[in-house]
């Protein structure tokens, strides 16, 4: 519904723009005359400075002149001030200096000299801007950006233009199309022109535009295209030309096809991402469950502890090693692992080992542990979520297709998970500790008879499981909120993974986690998040009918008991 609303608004805006064209032209003429009256003898730098200074003008007309002038000069140096003006962060001091306030609102610097200023000591006033100023501003900003040397900036401006068309800039796009070397930018430029071309009087141009849209366009064009094939209340086509209608409906179906693939790709990626996170959360659980037959309800809290460890490491870096801040995640990996592992081992030694052979009681006792841990974290760090920042290399994302962004953080987590799973697998399959763990998992008594110290194996395994959960917490801190209830959010899903995947085999956990991730993400768009979750539960129950011990459980006499 929301989407339709914005589209509707956007349509209205478009018609408004069309109607205003004569007015804009008139305005342009006026501006041209006004600019022409400026002394032309100034050198360009002075020109920029003076134009910038004009932004502090009280009169809106003069303000507009200054903005327009800055757009014409096209110097990127003017960009910060223009953007600040648009976002209402540009203020004017009593002596006419322009101050750009940063986003937090605490600091400011001079727009011309770039010097930091103490904004509290100054008496600042905001230039008053209205919609007409804002429009001029957008054009000026767009102009500077479209002619920028940085293709990313041009791309961003072109995209913005696609969303909010402006005839002035379209002209500019048409001009610079031939000089444009970047393919991506060219693609967007084409779309900008095609969008404009749809409203042309020239049939040939409209058909060409449709073809361009069919080739490169995304779902945002659907409304424009649908308008071409719709009928009015009397059942007459809004568009008279049958050829245009036919091409438009072809374009729609090609858009839809592409969008379908994009959606599936996005679902796949997010399913993979969710699955990998669930895998990290559930892997440790599956290991300890397989080994000891106990469900550790405090396992979610191991995730939380890992996330809070990351938070603490981050703060230490912020405080003492700010120059290496972006690398805090590297030492956080062993630290998160160790902290969770040590806490896990302490719990195993003091509480859980006394409950072997009583799985349901272990479940309750570990639930008690989780309550104590949650409340402790609340008392230490507060009940609110804490902020864990992404280092620069994890912020942003790669755009794989038009409009689908895969965040770097998620991609890195997937890779991270692969490494962790490989490491755990190698540990269990290739080391003597792993051999002992597997022996105890299969037959505790027998292993004990063969001289394996089951106590030690239990302890290390619990440490390993908890440590892996700590790594999960670290990963979660990069894509979600970190709060005392973090563990509770993932625990039910982790259990589902274990139930689905069975115990005793890593491949089961991997399959369970990825399976749940994919099912969740592919169901969500169809059924909604909640119904999706319920359907997942139903699917798990149905699957478990066939394989009560999990899909990949070890079969055998031992597995029954």
Partner 1 sequence: MIKKIATLHSFKGWILTFILLGIALVLLPLLNLLVPEESVLHVPDYIFSLLGKYLCYALVALAVDLIWGYTGILSLGHGVFFSMGGYAMGMYLMRSIGKEGVYKSDLPDFMVFLDWKELPWYWYGFDYFAFTLLVILILPGLFAFTFGYFAFRSRIKGVYFAIITQAMTYALMLLFFRNNTGFGGNNGLTDFKRILGYSLHEPSTKVGLYIITIIVLFLSYLLSRYVVRSKLGRILTAIRDAESRVMFSGYNTLHYKLFVWTLSAFLCGIAGALYVPQVGIINPSEMQPSNSIEMAIWVAVGGRGTLSGALIGAGLVNGAKSWFTVAAPDYWLYFLGTLFIVLTLFFPKGLVGFFSRFSSKDKMREPS
Partner 2 sequence: MDSPGAHIKDDSIDATHGCILYIEGLTVSFDGFKALNNLNLYIDDGELRCIIGPNGAGKTTMMDVITGKTRPDHGTVFFGQSHDLTKMTEYEISHMGIGRKFQKPTVFLNHTVFENLELALHAKKGVWQSLTRSLVGEQRDTIEEGLETIGLKEQKNLRSALLSHGQKQWLEIGMLLVQNPRLLLIDEPVAGMTHQETERTAELLKSLAGKHSVVVVEHEMDFIRSIANRVTVLHEGHVLADGKMEEVQNDPKVIEVYLGS
Choose the contact partner of 554 out of partner 1, partner 2, none; CB within 5 to 8 A by kind. partner 2
Pick the closer one to partner 2 by CB: 120 or 557. 557
Could you give the string, one character per residue 372-401, with x where binding to partner 1 holds by CB under 8 A and - elsewhere?
Answer: x-xx---x----------------------
Least spacing, CB of residue 385 vs partner 1, in Å? 18
Least spacing, CB of residue 475 vs partner 2, in Å? 32
Q: Tally the C-alpha atoms within 13 A of residue 457's C-alpha that lie toward its C-beta.
A: 27
Q: CA 554, CA 358: separation in Å to the nearest integer?
A: 21
Pick the closer one to partner 1 by CB: 76 or 382. 382
Choose the contact partner of 541 out of partner 1, partner 2, none; CB within 5 to 8 A by kind. partner 1
How far apart, in Å, are the Cα atoms of 193 and each of 66, 207, 548?
28, 13, 60
- Cα angle at 156 between 151 and 160, to 5 degrees? 145
Choose the contact partner of 360 out of partner 1, partner 2, none; CB within 5 to 8 A by kind. partner 1
Pick the closer one to partner 1 by CB: 325 or 381. 381
Please say whether the beta carbons of 395 and 408 come within 8 A: yes
Pick the closer one to partner 1 by CB: 127 or 504. 504
Least spacing, CB of residue 551 vs partner 2, in Å? 14
Least spacing, CB of residue 290 vs partner 2, in Å? 15
- Residue found under tokens 């069975």: 502
* DSSP one-letter code for 126: P
3-class DSSP assignment, residue 374: helix
DSSP assignment string, 3-51: HHHHHHHHHHHHHHHHHHHHHHHHHHHHHHHHHHTS-TTS-HHHHHHHH
Please say whether the beta carbons of 473 and 336 come within 8 A: yes
Choose the contact partner of 418 out of partner 2, partner 1, none; CB within 5 to 8 A by kind. none
Segment lying near partner 2 (by CB under 8 A), choices 30-38, 154-162, 167-175, 552-560:
552-560
Q: CA 224, CA 217: separation in Å to the nearest integer?
A: 11
Segment lying near partner 1 (by CB under 8 A), choices 20-28, 137-145, 349-357, 470-478:
349-357
Least spacing, CB of residue 360 vs partner 1, in Å? 5
Taking Cα atoms as reference points, which of 128, 134, 191 lies closest to residue 158? 191
Q: Residue length, the chain?
A: 561
* DSSP one-letter code for 59: S
Interacting residue with partner 2 among 9, 358, 455, 555 (CB under 8 A):
555
- Residue found under tokens 């002035």: 168
Site for partner 1 in 447-506 (CB under 8 A): 488, 492, 495-496, 498-499
DSSP assignment string, 386-440: B--PPPGGGSSEEEEETTEEEEHHHHHHHHHHHHHHHHHHHHHHHSHHHHHHHHH
Interacting residue with partner 1 among 400, 450, 537, 558 (CB under 8 A):
537
556 binds partner 2 (CB under 8 A): yes
Least spacing, CB of residue 232 vs partner 1, in Å? 29
Tokens of 520: 């969740």
Segment lying near partner 2 (by CB under 8 A), choices 126-134, 203-211, 326-334, 553-561:
553-561
Interacting residue with partner 2 among 2, 163, 234, 557 (CB under 8 A):
557
Choose the contact partner of 556 out of partner 2, partner 1, none; CB within 5 to 8 A by kind. partner 2
Least spacing, CB of residue 555 vs partner 2, in Å? 5
3-class DSSP assignment, residue 91: strand
Could you give the string, one character per residue 285-324, with x where binding to partner 1 holds by CB under 8 A and - elsewhere?
Answer: ----x---xxx-----------------------------
Q: CA 456, CA 348: separation in Å to the nearest integer?
A: 11
Choose the contact partner of 400 out of partner 1, partner 2, none; CB within 5 to 8 A by kind. none
Interacting residue with partner 2 among 83, 404, 479, 554 (CB under 8 A):
554
Q: CA 197, CA 208: separation in Å to the nearest integer?
A: 8
Interacting residue with partner 1 among 207, 363, 427, 539 (CB under 8 A):
363
Total Cβ atoms within 10 A of residue 96: 9
* DSSP one-letter code for 95: T
- Residue found under tokens 């003006």: 85
Total Cβ atoms within 10 A of residue 234: 5
3-class DSSP assignment, residue 90: strand
DSSP assignment string, 476-533: HHTTS-B-TTHHHHHHHHHHHHHHHH-SS-HHHHHHHHHHHHHHHHHHHHHH-HHHHH
Pick the closer one to partner 2 by CB: 68 or 505. 505
Least spacing, CB of residue 280 vs partner 1, in Å? 19
Pick the closer one to partner 1 by CB: 51 or 298. 298
Choose the contact partner of 343 out of partner 2, partner 1, none; CB within 5 to 8 A by kind. none
365 binds partner 1 (CB under 8 A): yes
What are the residues binding partner 2 (CB under 8 A)? 554-557, 560
What are the residues binding partner 1 (CB under 8 A)? 289, 293-295, 351, 354-355, 358-365, 367-372, 374-375, 379, 488, 492, 495-496, 498-499, 530-531, 533-534, 537, 540-541, 544-546, 548
């Amino acid at each position: 519904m929301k989407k339709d609303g914005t589209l509707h608004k956007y349509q209205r805006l478009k018609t408004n723009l069309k109607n205003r064209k004569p007015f804009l032209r008139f305005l342009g003429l006026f501006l041209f005359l006004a600019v022409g009256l400026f002394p032309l003898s100034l050198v360009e730098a002075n020109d920029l400075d003076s134009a910038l200074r004009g932004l502090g003008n009280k009169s809106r007309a003069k303000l507009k002149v200054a903005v327009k002038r800055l757009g014409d000069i096209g110097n990127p140096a003017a960009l910060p001030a223009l953007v600040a003006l648009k976002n209402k962060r540009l203020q004017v001091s009593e002596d006419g200096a322009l101050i750009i306030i940063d986003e937090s609102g605490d600091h400011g610097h001079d727009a011309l000299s770039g010097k930091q200023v103490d904004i509290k000591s100054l008496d600042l006033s905001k230039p008053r801007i209205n919609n007409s100023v804002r429009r001029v501003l957008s054009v000026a900003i767009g102009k500077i950006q479209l002619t920028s040397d940085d293709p990313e900036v041009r791309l961003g401006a072109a995209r913005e233009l696609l969303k909010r068309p402006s005839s002035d800039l379209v002209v500019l796009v048409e001009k610079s199309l031939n000089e444009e070397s970047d393919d991506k930018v060219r693609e967007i430029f084409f779309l900008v022109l095609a969008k404009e071309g749809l409203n042309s009087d020239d049939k040939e141009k409209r058909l060409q535009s449709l073809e361009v849209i069919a080739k490169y366009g995304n779902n945002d064009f659907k409304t424009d295209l649908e308008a071409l094939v719709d009928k009015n209340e009397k059942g007459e086509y809004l568009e008279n030309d049958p050829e245009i209608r036919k091409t438009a409906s072809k374009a729609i179906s090609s858009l839809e096809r592409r969008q379908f693939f994009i959606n599936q790709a996005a679902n796949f990626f997010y399913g993979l991402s969710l699955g990998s996170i669930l895998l990290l959360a559930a892997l440790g659980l599956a290991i300890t469950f397989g080994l000891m037959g106990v469900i550790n309800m405090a396992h979610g809290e191991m995730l939380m502890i890992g996330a809070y460890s990351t938070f603490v490491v981050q703060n230490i870096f912020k405080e003492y090693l700010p120059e290496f801040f972006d690398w805090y995640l590297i030492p956080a990996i062993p630290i998160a692992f160790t902290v969770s592992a040590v806490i896990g081992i302490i719990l195993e030694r003091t509480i859980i080992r006394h409950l072997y052979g009583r799985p349901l009681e272990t479940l309750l006792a570990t639930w008690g542990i989780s309550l104590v841990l949650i409340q402790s974290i609340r008392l230490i760090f507060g009940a609110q979520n804490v902020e864990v920042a992404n280092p620069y290399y994890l912020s942003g994302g790669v755009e794989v297709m038009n409009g689908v962004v895969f965040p770097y953080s998620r991609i890195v987590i997937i890779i991270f998970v692969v490494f962790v799973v490989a490491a755990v697998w190698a540990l269990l399959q290739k080391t003597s500790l792993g051999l002992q763990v597997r022996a105890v998992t299969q037959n505790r008594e027998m292993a004990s008879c063969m001289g394996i110290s089951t106590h030690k194996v239990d302890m290390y395994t619990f440490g390993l499981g908890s440590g892996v959960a700590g790594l999960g917490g670290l990963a979660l801190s990069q894509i979600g909120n970190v709060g005392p209830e973090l563990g509770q959010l993932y625990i039910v899903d982790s259990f589902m993974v274990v139930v689905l995947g069975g115990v005793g085999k890593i491949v089961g956990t991997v399959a369970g986690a990825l399976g749940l991730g994919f099912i969740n993400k592919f169901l969500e768009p169809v059924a909604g998040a909640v119904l999706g979750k319920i359907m997942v539960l139903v699917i798990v129950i149905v699957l478990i009918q066939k394989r009560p011990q999990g899909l990949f459980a070890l079969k055998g006499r031992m597995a029954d008991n």
